[in-house]
Amino acid sequence: MGVVTFFNPTRQTRVLPGFGLALGYTLVYLSLIVLIPLSAVFIKTATLSWGEFWAIVSSPRVVATYKLSFGASLLAAAINAVFGLMLAWSLVRYSFPGKKLIDALVDLPFALPTAVAGIALTALYAGNGWIGSLLAPLGIKVAFTPLGVLVALVFIGVPFVVRTVQPILEDLETELEEAAASLGANRLQTFAKVLLPTLLPALLTGFALAFARAVGEYGSVIFIAGNIPMVSEITPLIIITKLEQYDYAGATAVAVVMLVFSFLMLLAINLLQAWSAKRTGRNR
């Protein structure tokens, strides 16, 4: 039906006014804020030949950063999905002293300047830091390794999962769990068959947001990563490095790869969400 109305806008009288205005405003706003700046990236990249482009984006050092950036981001988003869900669960389901305080703490990674977070994490996880000194005897090094990158990305992604899952969890009637229990399901079955499927769309949204944020993160990572080429260098750092060398076309070329890759991943997550919504009959 959406398609039909789109092509025959005169055929139906709309009850809600302002469709034209709203659509026009949306397009202009998106163009100014998102599309035009992004298209500049592509235009600048176009000054390169295909050969040059390929040489830049496929150089081993750059490829290594893709692996770290996307790999660590995916892993961080996955970790956040699991522990963010647990955090949201505790905040919604239980009442304990200091709950409001913890609730407020969740948002801190949103507000804190990322550089501050990066320096704080580095100080903590460095070999002589509070946590780092505990881990060092076990042979675990966090700061200045890919593991450090992961820690920073987990840190900045926490609020996304918690804040998307929390409202859904609050709306979830305890009756659903009671119904499942009265039908003979144990806790694990209730969680796997009743709760998780209901939370999945929100969880996917949170995952996607945390992932997107992690891919683009720069400030907190560069301090803890150590930025060792081929080991703990992230893609945004490569872009900055190229910019500092006045290699604008090279920087935008890497940015284009990142952009396309991120877009594809977010699209895939969105499709997954649409599929899960369709499966539950919620889009009708």
Partner 1 sequence: MSIQVKEIHKQFGEFVALDQVSLDFPTGALTALLGPSGCGKTTLLRVIAGLETADSGRVILEGEDASDTHVRQRRVGFVFQHYALFRHMTVLENVAFGLRVKPRRERSDDAEIRRRVHRLLDLVQLDALAERFPSQLSGGQRQRVALARALAVEPRVLLLDEPFGALDAQVRKELRRWLRRLHDELQVTSIFVTHDQEEALEVADRVVLMNRGRVEQVDTPTEVYERPATPFVYGFLGAVNVFHGRIEGPHLRVGEATLPHEQTQVIHGAEAVAFSRPHELRIVTDPDTPHGVAAVVERVLTFGADVRVELDSLPGAAVRGEPAHYEVVMPRAQVDALALTRGQLVRLVPSQIRVFPSQAA
Span 150-179, contacts to partner 1 by CB under 8 A? 173, 175-176, 178-179
What does DSSP assign to residue 96? Answer: -
Among the residue ranges 102-110, 149-157, 161-169, 192-200, the one whose residues contact partner 1 (CB under 8 A): 192-200
How far is 89 from 198, CA to CA, in rounded Å? 14
Between 98 and 184, whose beta carbon lies closer to partner 1?
184
Residue 267 is a binding residue for partner 1 (CB under 8 A): no
Q: How far is the CB of 145 from partner 1 (least distance, A)?
A: 41
Q: How far is the CB of 279 from partner 1 (least distance, A)?
A: 7
Strand, helix or coil at 94? coil
Q: Which of 212, 219, 213, 227 is nearest to 267 (CA)?
A: 212
Count of Cβ atoms closer than 10 Å to residue 123 Cβ = 16
Instruction: Tell me phi and psi for residue 98, to 5 degrees.
Output: 80, 10
Q: How many helices (H) and strands (E) does the chain have?
A: 16, 0
Q: Which of 171, 170, 157, 172 is nearest to 82 (CA)?
A: 157
Q: How far is the CB of 115 from partner 1 (least distance, A)?
A: 43
Residue 67 is a binding residue for partner 1 (CB under 8 A): no
| 59 touches 250 (CB < 8 A) | no
Residue 180 is a binding residue for partner 1 (CB under 8 A): yes
How far is 259 from 30, CA to CA, in rounded Å? 16
Between 11 and 284, whose beta carbon lies closer to partner 1?
284
x/- track of binding to partner 1 for residues 13-52 (CB under 8 A): ----------------------------------------
Residue 185 is a binding residue for partner 1 (CB under 8 A): yes
Q: Residue 147 class from Cβ within 10 Å (0-12 exposed, 13-18 middle, 19+ buried)? A: middle
x/- track of binding to partner 1 for residues 112-131 (CB under 8 A): --------------------
Q: How far is the CB of 179 from partner 1 (least distance, A)?
A: 4
List of residues contacting partner 1 (CB under 8 A): 173, 175-176, 178-186, 189, 193-194, 197-198, 279-282, 284
